[in-house]
A and B are shown apart, each in its own frame.
Chain A
Amino acid sequence: MKLMPTLQIKNICKSFGGVRAVNRCSFELVDKKITALIGPNGAGKTTLFNVVNGFIPADEGKIFFREEDVTDFTVWQRSRLGMSRTFQLSRLFKNLTIKENLILALRQDDDLFWRAFLKRGEGSELNKKIVEGMGFVGLKKNPETSVKDLSYGEQKLFDLTRALLNPHSLLLLDEPVSGVNPVLREKLKEIMRHLKEKGETVLLIEHDIDFVRSVADWIVVMDQGRVLKEGLPEKIFKDPEVLEVYLGPTE
């Protein structure tokens, strides 16, 4: 019996009014590899992400995650099964500190108010994980800092840290390097390579071709809501059809 892949996207359709944002999309993720989802602006990448993690219900199609049909699961149920994501524009809990944001990602039992009246003693363990997580991405900040005081680049890095600390078996990263400076971009490349070494399964949306080329193991190209092509990076970036939709018919 063939083992099912971590994530299967089957025939997903999603329209907004008249706009077919995602149109019969199907592909699977390769386990423990980085799959990049690329395509021009408005291709439907973020919409597909939102369907995968449950923010948006699909009009048609199914999502299988770890052998389970999660199409009708809520966002938090999918998260607890092991999906973790970042956002194209970082969305942090803006009135909270770095540490509070990260503890929220780490904890999975904080919906039970009566636990407030039980003995607690896992503070040092959480602290250790926070220090580790921030060390892993190289974010040098006092954990008591309000997240409002982070720069744009730091926020992107922090959004990634939070997704990494959220218990998961699948990482969904929406444009982690968009708008960051070249130094941080190199740093993020390094982080992605470390993630691969750790055996993380990643679905990555990214416009930066150079970045995708250097980190992705597999590439899925979307255009106008459809999967146009998928394959190994060296093949995809030589494909004339891909070059045309992605780079425009220039050369």
Chain B
Amino acid sequence: MGYLIHTLTLAAIYIMVALSYSLPVGYAGMLNLGHIGLLAVGAYTAAILTTSGISFWLALIAAALISGIFGFFLALPARRIKGDYYALMTLGFTFVINAVLLNWIKLTKGPFGITGIPRPSGFTDPLAFLVLTLVFLGFTAWFVHRVLGSPFGKALEAVRDDDLVAESLGKPTAKLRLTALFISAVIVGLAGALLAHFIQFINPQIFWLDNVVWILAALALGGLASFRGAVIGMLILFAIFELIRFLSIPAALLGPLRLIIFSLLLLLVVLYRPKGIFGRAQIE
């Protein structure tokens, strides 16, 4: 039972991450590999603030805002740097964040990470924390669903398909990209804060690159530019991760086996449904 609650909470947090990721990647066509860096910003902001005595709720707001500000700056170069170059630039952001986390020891405790991150009072019980996470997930899902289904969501899709043509129809593409990345960063900042308070111990390793690859793979599996795709993709990823645990295989093989099974599944989907299970667009 404890295991189930634990897994569900993590899954809920990562569905928030996937939903926030679909906004820039699936809709606005910005392959932002800095997303995991933003998750780290949210997690560390909340962890640093609460371990120095600031209340959980204030820290949560700060995490969302600071991540949002970083997201804003990540969007600025998007008007000039596009496609693969944008991916590379944002990859650089993840590297920089990681270097800061490792080296600014006074603030982040470096490679050892921050321990003893308190659960918010009233939510120390795992079940209560799950409920809290689900409330955040529900709000996020409602918000993202509403935004993506609105004319704003369609304008983002226009930017993704052909930003020059979108401009020529009167869409301020720079502002659209900025807004999309800001919203995405605020949500992933919240998710980061929830993650920190849930696992209560964070280190730079958790926010390393392999994580962004998994999230991207979950999106590709579920389908880009699709609300359902983001949710289902992440659920499938979690299901595979967790179900493999129940096979009686040596722990050392667990990691590679996950990778193999998920890669095969992704390969099949990409071969037979290039847009993913529910997707409407492809990354080019």
Q: Is A116 a contact partner of B149 (Cβ separation < 8 A)?
A: yes
Cβ–Cβ < 8 Å partners of B162 in chain A: 91-94
Q: How far is the CB of A208 from chain B (nearest CB, A)?
A: 24
Pull 22 A–B residue pairs with CB atoms less than 8 Å apart, ordered by A.
A74-B167, A75-B164, A76-B167, A85-B168, A91-B162, A92-B162, A92-B165, A94-B162, A95-B280, A100-B157, A104-B171, A105-B169, A110-B152, A110-B154, A111-B175, A111-B176, A112-B152, A115-B150, A116-B147, A116-B150, A116-B153, A166-B169
Contact at B225–A95, with CB atoms within 8 Å?
A: yes
Are A80's CB and B170's CB within 8 A?
yes
Kindly identify which residue among A80, A92, A93 contacts B157, using a CB–CB cutoff of 8 Å: A93
Instruction: Tell yes or no: A136 within 8 A of B by CB.
Output: no
Residues of B within 8 A of A110 (CB): 150-152, 154-155, 171
Which residues of chain A come closer than 8 Å to B164, judged between CB atoms? Answer: 55, 75, 91
A16 within 8 A of B: no
1/0 per position for B130-169, CB-CB distance to A under 8 A?
0000000000000000110111111101101110111111
Cα-based distance from A116 to B168 in the complex (angstroms):
23
Contacts of A107 on B, CB cut-off 8 Å?
151, 155
CB of A53 closer than 8 Å to a CB of B:
yes
Chain B residue with the shortest CB-CB distance to A162: B169
Please encode chain B, from 177 to 215, with 1 for each CB lying within 8 Å of some chain A CB and 0 for all others. 001000100000000000000000000000000000000
Instruction: Given A93-B165, A116-B152, answer yes or no on A108-B170 (Cβ-Cβ < 8 Å).
Output: yes
A sample of 10 more A-B contacts (CB under 8 A), given A111-B175, A116-B147, A162-B169, is A53-B168, A79-B170, A92-B162, A93-B161, A93-B165, A107-B155, A110-B152, A115-B150, A116-B152, A167-B170
With A and B bound together, what is the CA distance between A111 and B177 in angstroms?
10
Residue on A with the closest CB to B151?
A: A110
Tell me the interface secondary structure of chain B in the complex: helix
Query: CB distance B152 to A79 under 8 Å?
Result: no
Chain A residues near B (Cβ < 8 Å): 53-55, 74-76, 79-80, 83-85, 87, 91-96, 100, 103-105, 107-113, 115-117, 162, 166-167
Q: In the complex the two chains form, what is the Cα distance from A104 to B162 in whole Å?
A: 12
Q: In the complex, are the beta carbons of A166 and B170 less than 8 A apart? A: yes
**Residue ID in chain A nearest B179 by CB atoms:** A113
Among B149, B164, B169, B176, the most chain A Cβ lie within 10 Å of the Cβ of B169
Measured CB to CB, the closest approach of chain A to B154, in angstroms, equals 6
Question: Does B154 contact A103, Cβ atoms closer than 8 Å?
Answer: yes
CB within 8 Å of A: which B102-123 residues: none
Pick the 7 closest A-B CB pairs, nearest first: A116-B150, A110-B151, A75-B167, A79-B170, A93-B161, A110-B155, A113-B152
Q: A95-B157, A104-B155, A113-B183 are in contact. Are A79 and B169 (CB under 8 A)?
A: yes
A74 to B173 CA separation, bound complex (whole angstroms): 11
- List chain B residues, Cβ under 8 A from A85: 168
Contact of B172 with A by CB under 8 A: yes
Q: Is B281 an interface residue when CB atoms closer than 8 A count as contact? A: yes
* Cβ of A74 to closest chain B Cβ, rounded Å: 7
Give min CB distance, A163 to chain B, whole Å. Answer: 9
Compute how far the CA of A156 lies from the CA of B246 in the bound complex, rounded to whole angstroms: 57
Bitwise, B245-284 to A at CB < 8 A (1) or not (0) is 0000000000000000000000000000000000011000
A110 vs B183: C-alpha distance in the bound complex, in angstroms? 16
**Residue in B closest to A112 when the chains form the complex, CB atoms:** B152
Complex-state Cα separation, A92 to B147, whole angstroms: 23
- In the assembled complex, the CB of B60 is this many whole angstroms from the nearest CB of chain A, namely 21
- Residues from chain B with a CB closer than 8 A to the CB of A84 are 168-169
Complex: chain B residue closest to A95, CB-CB:
B281
Cβ contacts under 8 Å, B179 to chain A: 111, 113
